[in-house]
Amino acid sequence: MPAGTKPLLSVVTSCYNEEENVRALYEAVRGVLAKHPQYCYEHVFIDNASRDGTRSILREICASDRNVKAIFNARNFGAVRSGIHVLLQARGVAVLALACDFQDPPELLGEFITRWESGSKVVLGVKTSAAERSVFFAIRGWYLSNAWTDFRRAPRGSEHRVRYIRSRCD
């Protein structure tokens, strides 16, 4: 990295019919990352062929903020394939994945960055409670703990949606 250049962080977000959330998420992420001026950032959205106004909102955001990029899939490739594709497009020294529907609180990005700066290669967040009915939350936790032999449940939590930052400088 050239002297005087700030490291780049990448935030990646998959979208499908998120017109009600995409602008608010963009603004929340921008606000969190403004508190970390030691970094440049890019926010890369990947849209999975939304049928609502998500794409037009993303175009507006991209036109007004050069830190934001959007990938528009020709069809819905699903959350897994789109998520992998957007990770591969990220250019930052670290990548932070964030759900567009606010299941992942953007406020946690600051804490994840701090933990990453202190030497962690991978920072995971585990959802320990949910607004959904407790019986469904418990069933999901049981299923994830027992359905795959190589899955280990995180202490005091049930994996629901993992939030992470991964270093690319290994």
Q: What is the pLDDT of residue 79?
A: 80
Residue 142 covered by a domain: no
Q: Rounded to two decimals, what is the model's pTM?
A: 0.76
Instruction: Look at the chain and report how many structural domains it folds into.
Output: 1
Is-contact 39 93, C-beta < 8 A? no
Which pLDDT band, with edges at 50, 70 and 90, does 143 fall under?
low
Q: What is the pLDDT of residue 151?
A: 43
Q: What is the pLDDT of residue 52?
A: 97
Residue 145 covered by a domain: no
Using DSSP's 3-state secondary structure scheme, residue 97 falls into strand
Indicate whether 12 pLDDT > 70: yes
Residue 41 covered by a domain: yes
Q: Residue 97 CA to chain centroid, in angstroms?
A: 2
Residue 132 covered by a domain: no
Instruction: Please state the length of the chain.
Output: 170
Residue 14 covered by a domain: yes
Residue 147 covered by a domain: no
Which pLDDT band, with edges at 50, 70 and 90, does 160 fall under?
very low
Q: Please, what is the average pLDDT of the chain?
A: 82
Q: What is the pLDDT of residue 132?
A: 60
Domain that holds residue 93: 8-126+159-167
Most confident of 4-8, 24-28, 97-101, 140-144: 24-28
Residue 146 covered by a domain: no
CATH number at residue 91: 3.90.550.10
Q: Using CA atoms, how far apart are residues 164 and 104, in angstroms rounded to an integer?
A: 10
Which pLDDT band, with edges at 50, 70 and 90, does 26 fall under?
very high
DSSP class of residue 113? H
Using DSSP's 3-state secondary structure scheme, residue 156 falls into coil
Residue 30 covered by a domain: yes
